[in-house]
Amino acid sequence: MRVCLASTSPARLMLLRQAGIEPLTQSPDVDEDAVAAAAAAERGADLAPAELVLLLARAKAADVAHKLAAEGLFDGIVIGGDSMFALGGRVYGKPYTPEEATRRWHEMRGATGILHSGHSVFRLSPGDAPVEATATAEAAVTFADDITDAEIAAYVASGEPLLVAGAFTVDSLGGAFITRVDGDPSTVVGMSLSTVRRLAAELDVAWTDLWS
């Protein structure tokens, strides 16, 4: 059975490959800021992190799924995901700039935050309408309290934290600064594999059938 990852995230691609799945990848055509702004305007308030990551995951998966469905040839599942990090009542996406990444790391030092991850899985079969299953997952991440300013500066200078949710990774250079993860560790990498497996099962797809 085929798998399409509705993302060009290297971390999500790596996770699936490590789990024995070699997916197609397709970048969704979704303006995430516009989707979030429209949802907030409709409600009259910002969405909670768990709601927002699920909304964005669904938007990305749906965009790719409906394009593939229109072609009428794809038989398999489409996976979409989104992640955000919450600390001290604030929600953090990608920092983009060294200054913002540095500021966040000074705040995260010795603290615990929650990584929220939204998941959307569509089952596509030629001739049938797409069927979706969704879920969120959370993992608590605790950072070392003895991280030095020099270590923060060196990590930021590496460029790694600039384009990842929360300004950190657990599976690369940032992993040495994390002392504890409570929850599915793959959630922190970018996608909860156990959650995706459960969603696939809801769509009558056996996880082992997805192995390459």
Catalytic one of 31, 46, 75, 82: 82
Active site annotation includes 128: no
Tell me the three state secondary structure of residue 58. helix
Closest residue by Cα to residue 144 from 106, 101, 116, 171: 106
> What is the distance between the alpha carbons of residues 104 and 95, in angstroms, rounded to a whole number?
8
Q: Which residue has 């409570």 as its token pair?
A: 182
The residue count of the chain comes to 212
What are the angstrom distances between the C-alpha of 173 and each of 22, 76, 151? 25, 34, 11
Whether 130 contacts 101, CB under 8 Å: no
Q: Count CB-CB contacts under 10 A for residue 55.
A: 20
Whether 66 contacts 129, CB under 8 Å: no
> What is the distance between the alpha carbons of residues 29 and 10, in angstroms, rounded to a whole number?
18
Catalytic residues: 82
